Amino acid sequence: MKIGNYQLPNMSSLLLWGLLWEIIGRSGMTFFVPPLSEVVMTLFSVIGTPAFIKALSETAYAFFAGVFFAIAIGVPIGVLMGKSRLIDELLLPWVNMFLSAPLTALVPVLMVLFGFGMKSIIITTTLFAIWIIILNTRAGVKQINRSLIEMARSFGATARDAFFKIYIWAALPEILNGVRIGVIRAVKGVIIGQLLISIVGFGALFELYSANFLMAHFWAVLIVLFAMAFAVSELLAYLERRVSYYASTR
Amino acid sequence: MSQTKEAFAKATALDTEIAVSTRNICKNYGAVEALKNLSLDFPRGQLTSLLGPSGCGKTTLLKIIAGLLEPTSGEVEVNGRLVTGPGPNRAFVFQDFALLPWASVMRNVAFGLELRGVAKSEREAIAERYIREVGLAGFEKSFPHELSGGMRQRVGLARALSVDAKVLLLDEPFSAVDEQTRRKFQEDMLNLVAHENKTFIFVTHSIEEAVFISDQIAILLPRPSRVSEIIRPTGFRNRDMGNIRRDPEYLDIVDQIWASLRSYVE
Ligand SMILES: Nc1ncnc2c1ncn2[C@@H]1O[C@H](COP(=O)(O)OP(=O)(O)OP(=O)(O)O)[C@@H](O)[C@H]1O
Ligand SMILES: [Mg+2]
């Protein structure tokens, strides 16, 4: 943002919105929006409490486990789809369908299948993240220069060598891009899973806060979640930029 | 009896002379006939050039010999064994270099050895020697996108040399290097052919280059391609390299090849 000739630092527009929030909160228009200053104070008081730490660690566990499975399953499937016409034709319609399906509707089914616990939340997270990872990996593999694969073959690469030394790396820019979007979706997945199951992690906290009309607490936790999602996505964007130097020269 | 024995001995002697032999190779890409009934022998320890108009199937033939492509029909033998796929006795220099963009020059050159399971310190020592040999010393840590086209091509050349294969398949290996370097490489190549008992199969677009470095030149016709002529320059092979380009036989052969190829250019 620019005022006159003065270049304001990045994201200084957030200050403006923070100010607006504060004013609305102070005016007492709605109990739903307490002043930002109160939210921030609450945030600091809440952050050290055992309930918060428990919620955070449970959420982090579900999130990382979900993302781990999404990558560990999604990338190999994407590579296979990129390599083999047959597998591609078998799987692509399903992947596209799940990519745009309202997965939230599936969560109750998952709860019935896998119980009201961590397992269902992890699976929900994986389901939110995996499809875009598969699709991007597939796109990355499809554009690999044929010569690289022939080169590896001519020097005697095994299928395993080719996977770990050629496919993964040659498709890395697209894979990272898919993982970044997948991670953002995983944040949604982990929260939605917890809200619907609402006896673990932040789901339990939200339940507690909203039942007791503790709106400042509610917002404080939400800000923490946003900040975490943003940090993870920025980290991946940074990794993506690190490999972009060869994305154009493959 | 002794006569058959003699004939047999002669035949086996001839056999071992031929390092690579292609027999009745046909290759179709869908409806496109790239190669038709192509047969050609490549003598051991010699350099054979494949010369022909663009798109006549030189790369295709090289990839079939490498085992990267299956011929539609026909067979390839390397050292008397039928080729069914790539093998450690052949190394390929790719027309488009085929370097790993995410790996340094060092790792790229050592990559063939890496795939063969050679220990890191050992393969890097070998790679370093060939990096120096192709004139890239000091660029070991550079990445392909930081190099010029000619330098990238030399990385691909060093990679193929470092695996020490008996048969080298070179697809226009000097096309991107400058004229001075090219001449130096041609002389290096002659030395390599003279001192190492390797078989070189060399694709080029340059008539002069083919005549300068080849023991045997195969002229390919445009699609569907067959060998139209085999020329074996002999007279100036043992002369001093500096004088080859002035040798009357050299000039005659260049003219002769140009005469037979010019009709396809027009
Ligand atoms: N994968 C492919 N699919 C379809 N046609 C192909 C394929 N590869 C090559 N061809 C065709 O086969 C013919 C021979 O190709 P090839 O690459 O072997 O030619 P070349 O002699 O190496 O040409 P250049 O000198 O330009 O490199 C060309 O006409 C090309 O159009
Ligand atoms: Mg070619």
B171 and B74 co-located in one domain: yes
Chain B closest CA to A153's CA: distance in Å? Answer: 7
Alpha-carbon distance B109 to B266, whole Å?
Answer: 41
ipTM higher than threshold 0.95: no
Top-confidence range, A3-7, A100-104, B252-256: B252-256
Cβ separation B87–A156 shorter than 8 A: yes
In 3D space, the residue among B1, B2, B48, B6 whose CA is nearest the CA of residue B198 turns out to be: B48
Write down the mean pLDDT value for chain A. 87
Picking from B98, B116, B163, the nearest residue to A147 by CB comes out as B98
Residue where a domain terminates, one of B110, B140, B164: B164
Q: Looking at the structure, do residues B109 and B132 belong to the same domain, yes or no?
A: yes
Give residue-wise pLDDT tens across range B5-28.
554 444 444 444 889 999 999 999
- Between CA A26 and CA A24 the distance in angstroms is 6
Q: Do B94 and A166 touch (CB under 8 A)?
A: no
* Contact between B86 and A154 using a beta-carbon 8 Å cutoff: yes
Model pLDDT for residues B34-56, shown as the tens digit of each residue = 898 999 999 999 999 999 888 88
Task: Report strand pairing: A2-3 vs A6-7.
Answer: antiparallel
Q: Is the pLDDT of residue A153 over 90?
A: yes
Give the separation between CA A39 and CA A222, rounded to whole angstroms: 10
Average pLDDT (A139-156) is: 93
SS3 for A23-37, per residue? HHHHHCCCCCCCCHH
Residues of chain A contacting residue B98, judged by C-beta atoms under 8 Å apart: 145, 147-148, 150-151
Query: Are B85 and B113 in the same domain?
Result: no
Query: Which protein residue's CA is at the shortest distance from atom 30 of ligand 1?
Result: B55
List of residues 6+ apart from B237 with CB closer than 8 A: B215
Residues in chain B with CB shorter than 8 Å from the CB of A174 are: none
Per-residue pLDDT, B226: 79
Give how many domains chain B has, as a whole number: 2
Cα A208 from Cα A136, distance rounded (Å): 39
How far is it, in rounded angstroms, from Cα A13 to Cα A18? 9
In chain B, the DSSP E strands lie at 18-29, 32-43, 47-51, 73-78, 81-82, 90-93, 167-171, 199-204, 216-220, 227-231
Q: What is the pLDDT of residues B74-110, one digit of tens each?
A: 999 999 899 999 999 999 999 999 999 999 999 999 9
Establish whether residue B223 lines the binding site of ligand 1, counting it when its CB lies within 6 angstroms of any ligand atom.
yes
In percent, how much of chain A has pLDDT > 70? 95
d(CA B217, CA B205): 12
Least confident of A72-81, B66-75, B235-244: B235-244
DSSP one-letter string for A104-154: GGGHHHHHHHH-SSHHHHHHHHHHHHHHHHHHHHHHHHHTS-HHHHHHHHH
DSSP B121-184: HHHHHHHHHHHHHTT-TT-TT--GGGS-HHHHHHHHHHHHHHTT-SEEEEESTTTTS-HHHHHH
Residue A132, both tokens:
């875009």
Q: Are the CB atoms for A137 and A179 separated by under 8 Å?
A: no
Q: Is B204 in the pocket of ligand 1 (CB under 6 A)?
A: no
Say what angle helices A13-27 and A36-47 make with each other, to 10 degrees: 100
- Residue of A148, A154, A176 to mutate, testing the B interface (most B Cβ within 10 Å of its Cβ): A154
For residue B208, give the CATH number of its domain: 3.40.50.300
pTM of the model: 0.81
For residue B208, with 0-12 CB atoms within 10 Å meaning exposed, 13-18 middle and 19 or more buried, which class applies?
middle
Tell me if B95 is assigned to some domain.
no
Q: Virtual CA dihedral for B226, B229, B230, B235, nearest 10 degrees?
A: -160
Chain A positions touching B173 (Cβ under 8 A) are none
Distances (CA, A) of B168 to B44, B117, B132, B184: 11, 20, 19, 19
pLDDT at A236: 87
The finding on whether B59 has its CB within 6 A of some atom of ligand 1 is yes
Same domain, residue pair B226 and B249:
yes
Do A169 and B100 count as a contact with CB atoms less than 8 A apart?
yes
Buried b (16+ CB within 10 A) or exposed e, A13-34: eeeeeeeebbeebeeeeeeebb
Q: Which domain holds residue B73?
A: 3-89+166-264
Question: With an 8 Å Cβ cutoff, is A234 touching chain B?
Answer: no
Q: Point out the domain boundary residue: B110, B139, B164.
A: B164
Cα(A248) to centroid of ligand 1, in Å?
25
Whether residue B86 and residue A156 make contact (CB cut-off 8 A), yes or no, is yes
Cα separations (Å) of A219 from A60, B140, B199?
Answer: 19, 54, 74
Ranked by mean pLDDT, which of A24-28, A155-159, A227-231 comes out on top? A155-159
Flag whether pLDDT at B72 surpasses 90: yes
User: In this structure, is the dihedral angle defined by the CA atoms of residues A106, A108, A114 and A120, taken in order, positive or negative?
Assistant: positive
DSSP-based three-state secondary structure for B225: strand
Domain co-membership, B170 together with B259: yes
Burial of A207 (0-12, 13-18, 19+ CB in 10 A): middle
Residues B60 and B180 in one domain: yes
Mark whether B108 and B192 lie in a shared domain: no
Q: Which of B164, B187, B210 is the last residue of a domain?
A: B164
Do B118 and B72 share a structural domain? no
B175 shares a domain with B157 = no
pLDDT at A70 over 70: yes
Ligand 1 nearest atom to the CA of residue B61, by list position: 18
Whether residue B56 has its Cβ less than 6 Å from ligand 1? yes
Q: Percentage of chain A surpassing pLDDT 90?
A: 38
Q: Do B173 and B241 sit in the same domain of this protein?
A: yes
Average pLDDT (B163-180) is: 91
Closest CB to A151: pick one of B94, B114, B116.
B94
Q: Kindly state whether residue B94 falls inside one of the protein's structural domains.
A: no
pLDDT value of residue B192: 85
Average pLDDT over residues A129-157: 94
Determine contact, residues B54/B95, Cβ cutoff 8 Å. Answer: no
Residue B96 maps to a domain: no
- List, for residues B134-169, the tens digit of each pLDDT value: 889 999 999 999 998 889 999 999 999 999 999 999
| Contacts B91 to A, Cβ<8 Å | 154-155
- Which residues numbered 127-186 in B keep a CB inside 8 Å of some CB on A? 143-145, 163
Atom of ligand 1 nearest to the CA of B52: 21
Q: Are A193 and A66 in contact (CB under 8 A)?
A: no
The size of chain B, in residues, is 266
Sheet holding B227-231, edge to edge: B90-93, B167-171, B199-204, B47-51, B216-220, B227-231
Token duo for residue B109: 């050159």
Are residues B26 and B113 both part of a single domain? no
pLDDT band at A249 (very low <50, low <70, confident <90, very high): low
- Cβ-based contacts of B145 with chain A (< 8 Å): 245-246, 249
Q: Which of B93, B95, B37, B34 is nearest to B66 (CA)?
A: B93
Q: How is domain A42-244 classified at the CATH fold level?
A: MetI-like fold (1.10.3720)
Helices marked H in chain A: 13-27, 36-47, 50-83, 85-100, 107-114, 118-142, 146-154, 159-161, 168-170, 172-197, 201-211, 215-247
* Binding site membership of B32 for ligand 1 (Cβ less than 6 Å): yes
Q: Does B238 contact ligand 1 (Cβ within 6 A)?
A: no
Q: Same domain for B241 and B186?
A: yes
